[in-house]
Amino acid sequence: MPDEPLELGEIAPSDYHFHHDTMAGVGFLTIARRLPSLIGQALRLAWQAGPRDTMTTVSLNLLGGIVTAFGLLATTGVLNALFSEGPTPERVLAALPSLVLVGAAAVLRTLLQAGASWAEARLSPQIERASEERLYSLTSRVELVAFDDPEFHDALERARGRGAGTASFVVSSAVDVVTSLVGLAAAAGVLGLLHPVLLPLLLLAVLPDAWAAVRSARQRYSTMYGLGPARRRKWILAELLADREPAAEVRAFTMRRFLLRVYDAVARAEQEEMLKLVRRQTLTRLAGNALSGLGSAVVYLALGVLLTIGAIPLAVAGTAVLAIRSSQGSLSGLLFTTNHLYEQGLYFTDFLRFCDDAERRLIPPRPLPAPEGFDRITATDLTFTYPGIEEPALRGVSVEIKRGEIVAFVGENGSGKTTLAKILSGLYEPDSGTVHWDDVDLRQVSPETLRTRTAVIAQDHTRWPLTARYNITMGTDKGEPALHAAAAVAGADDVVADLPNGYRTLLDRRFKDGHELSGGQWQRIAVARGFHRDADLLICDEPTAALDARAEHALFERIRHHADGRTVLLITHRLASVRYADRIYVLDHGRVVERGDHDALLAAGGLYADLYTLQASAYR
């Protein structure tokens, strides 16, 4: 129904406009007071990323300001010689030395600006790399439970979405602010040396431009804030029209025309607002130019009066005009850049705050490496609560796993099975209670070394956009025999045999020569990944969720044969698969309510017997 009115309800504002209230509540003077701290933070990051290019950028910009001041003073000498009495040829000859100095200053200033721009261009990618490297180094090392904390996620999204990306912009803007300040200081210094009354004239000439620049920047920010939901909607619609995942349903439900219609409606609304912004900014600039012209007329009138009464010579007046014109450009750039620098600096501050928070979430260094194997894993009175959740996920849980056993955790959804397994493997820290590998308390063990002793086959495994080889080896180099053995045990060798380039096939169809696997094939690759680790403790969390009945049976047979002296922790809802486990722990609402082998638990007639009987009845 092409004429049906579209429902374009507002989507929650994106984090791009998270700081609108902060920006709207401060004036330019407030921004200026906070600017030194922001510039200092930006330059510190730049120094860490590329000290040589940072020093070059700042030094050349400062030298450029000094050369500008020198050129203005040399201009006074030129005008003095040209306006002196005597024949014209003699005045021109007298002005030549000063003209040479002015020309040399202009050439040198151009070279300095080119050098500063070159160093700044080199600095930007270094800052971008350093900020992203710092961000992802922290996100990959923080304790895993941080990713279950909504506040951490909010901070992470702001740091990723805008914070890290604005780092190079903030540094570039900070350099531009410093450059404009140096230019202003140079012009003001020259005017102060020429005559004290010229400094107030400078303010009179540049204030209208300052007002126009600030007002125009505020108008743009207000418009961009108002367009936040529309731009977010456009982004979502663009993903739906161009991304791979929804592509099938877009076609299956013939959504193309509808999505394009909605996209066009949002884009037109955005276009109208941008056109209104152009009109408002044009009027503001016209008003600023008119006031600036009036101010310049007053300045020239004042200079004329000063010349008439003999307060300043003609050469000084000419130099003053040049200095004022130069300062107008510097001030306009300063104000515009300062306003945007502060806005972007808010997101940059988000990035810095996130990094500080992530540093506090890192697990401190621990003295002991993971033990070389174990005879017994014992967990005693474990409790654990996820961030932001009142009810504990585990309540006083105690379990024991002996070397070479196959132990199963069973229970309904939300009973705490996976949480308990993550604590046993060192991925989560319990709120209370202890986990020992033999006599070693895991609170004293480096988590990194402990994880090399465990392997996890997860139901929600990652489909890495890497080759089949790296999807199994995860970058480790144990040689071809280990690779082929792990693939054979998991049944992944049959999957690889059908790939066009074998183990060198890229498993992601979004790239050239990439190949996609079915859910069951991916599951076998994930199982091979766990077997390849050849760890002391193998945790299988719903490892057969995507497999058909025949493949599931074959996999559990392989797990039993592969165990052969190894320790396997099996988590599954399919109770027929745990009949041969040495011991079964039944969890319910975060507690261990039953334990024993299959026959004992059936005889007990408890929760396990109920669940097993319920599943078995479906096959009768």
Arithmetic mean of pLDDT, 275-302? 82
346 & 377 share domain = no
Domain encompassing residue 509: 461-531
Contacts of 579 (CB under 8 A, 6+ apart): 598
Q: Does any domain span residue 321?
A: no
266 & 396 share domain = no
How far is Cα 375 from Cα 496, in angstroms, rounded to an integer?
Answer: 36
Look up the CATH number of the domain holding residue 501: 3.40.50.300
CA neighbor of 235 nearest in space, from 225, 245, 243: 243
85 phi and psi, to 5 degrees? -80, 155
The pLDDT > 70 percentage for the chain reads 78
For residue 72, name the pLDDT band (cuts at 50, 70, 90): low
pLDDT at 83 over 70: no
**pTM tops 0.95, yes or no:** no
Structure token pair of residue 39 = 């510039």
CA neighbor of 72 nearest in space, from 328, 325, 333, 307: 325
497 & 511 share domain = yes
Q: Does any domain span residue 21?
A: no
pLDDT at 590 over 60: yes
444 & 476 share domain = no
Mean pLDDT, the chain, whole residue set: 79
38 & 147 share domain = yes
More confident residue, 557 or 418: 418
CA neighbor of 204 nearest in space, from 315, 285, 283, 303: 303
pLDDT at 11 over 50: no
SS3 255: coil
Least confident of 88-102, 115-129, 445-459, 533-547: 88-102
Mean pLDDT: which of 16-20, 76-80, 188-192 is highest? Answer: 188-192
40 & 186 share domain = yes
Question: Is the separation of the CB atoms in 397 and 418 below 8 Å?
Answer: no
207 & 226 share domain = yes
How far is Cα 493 from Cα 477, in angstroms, rounded to an integer?
Answer: 18
pLDDT at 214 over 60: yes
Question: Is the separation of the CB atoms in 384 and 431 below 8 Å?
Answer: yes
Query: How far is CA 216 from its chain centroid?
Result: 29
How far is Cα 411 from Cα 587, in angstroms, rounded to an integer?
Answer: 5
pLDDT at 450 over 70: yes
Q: Does any domain span residue 122?
A: yes
Q: Hunting for tokens 């003699």 — which residue is that?
A: 90
217 phi and psi, to 5 degrees? -65, -40
445 & 577 share domain = yes
- DSSP for 71-103 reads HHHHHHHHHHHHHSSS-HHHHHHHHHHHHHHHH
Cα distances (Å, whole numbers) of residue 172 to 59, 275, 341, 482: 14, 29, 9, 50
Q: What is the pLDDT of residues 43-58, one digit of tens each?
A: 888 888 888 988 888 8
Question: Is the separation of the CB atoms in 79 and 190 below 8 Å?
Answer: no
265 & 409 share domain = no
**pLDDT score, position 14:** 45
**pLDDT score, position 396:** 92
Q: Which amino acid is at 210?
A: A
398 & 484 share domain = no
290 & 429 share domain = no
> Which of 475, 498, 531 is the endpoint of a domain?
531
CA neighbor of 256 nearest in space, from 278, 237, 233, 272: 237
Contacts of 64 (CB under 8 A, 6+ apart): 109, 112, 113, 116, 179, 182
CA neighbor of 397 nearest in space, from 421, 425, 427: 421
Total domains in the chain come to 4
Least confident of 1-15, 219-233, 367-381: 1-15
**pLDDT score, position 510:** 78
